Chains A and B, each alone.
Chain A
Amino acid sequence: QKEVEQNSGPLSVPEGAIASLNCTYSDRGSQSFFWYRQYSGKSPELIMFIYSNGDKEDGRFTAQLNKASQYVSLLIRDSQPSDSATYLCAVRNAGGTSYGKLTFGQGTILTVHP
Chain B
Amino acid sequence: NAGVMQNPRHLVRRRGQEARLRCSPMKGHSHVYWYRQLPEEGLKFMVYLQKENIIDESGMPKERFSAEFPKEGPSILRIQQVVRGDSAAYFCASSPLLGGAVPGELFFGEGSRLTVL
Residue numbers of A with Cβ under 8 A of B are 4, 6, 32, 34, 42-46, 49, 88, 90, 92, 96-107, 109
The verdict on B111 contacting chain A, using a C-beta distance below 8 Å, is yes
- Contact of A32 (CB < 8 Å), options: B40, B91, B103: B103
By a CB distance below 8 angstroms, the chain B residues around A46 are 102, 105-106
Check if A88 sits within 8 Å of B42, measured CB to CB.
yes
Name A101's contact: one of B48, B91, B96, B110 (CB within 8 Å). Answer: B48
Whether A43 lies near B31 (C-beta < 8 A) is no
Task: List, in ascending order, chain B residues with CB within 8 A of A101's CB.
Answer: 33, 45, 48, 56
Distance between B43 CB and nearest chain A CB, rounded to angstroms: 4
A43 touches B110 (CB 8 A): yes
Which size bracket describes the interface of B in this complex?
20 to 34
In whole angstroms, how far apart are the Cα atoms of A43 and B43 in the complex?
11
A–B complex contacts, Cβ < 8 Å, 13 sampled: A32-B104, A34-B104, A34-B105, A43-B110, A43-B111, A46-B106, A49-B105, A90-B43, A99-B98, A100-B48, A103-B45, A107-B40, A107-B41
Most buried by A among B40, B44, B96: B40
Interface of B is mostly: loop
Q: Which residues of A contact B98 (CB under 8 A)?
A: 98-99
Residues of A with C-beta under 8 A to B43 = 44, 88, 90, 104
| A104 vs B44: C-alpha distance when bound (angstroms) | 7
CB of B95 within 8 Å of the partner chain: yes
Set A43, A100, A107: member contacting B42, Cβ < 8 A: A107
A98 engages B91 (CB within 8 Å)? no
Within 8 Å CB of B69, what residues of A?
none
Report the 8 A-B pairs with minimum CB-CB distance, sorted nearest first: A43-B108, A106-B42, A104-B43, A104-B42, A98-B103, A107-B42, A101-B45, A44-B108
By a CB distance below 8 angstroms, the chain A residues around B102 are 46, 49
CB-based contact A44/B91 at 8 Å: yes
Query: A residues within 8 A CB of B99?
Result: 98
With A98-B99, A101-B56 as known contacts, state yes or no: A92 contacts B104, CB within 8 Å. yes
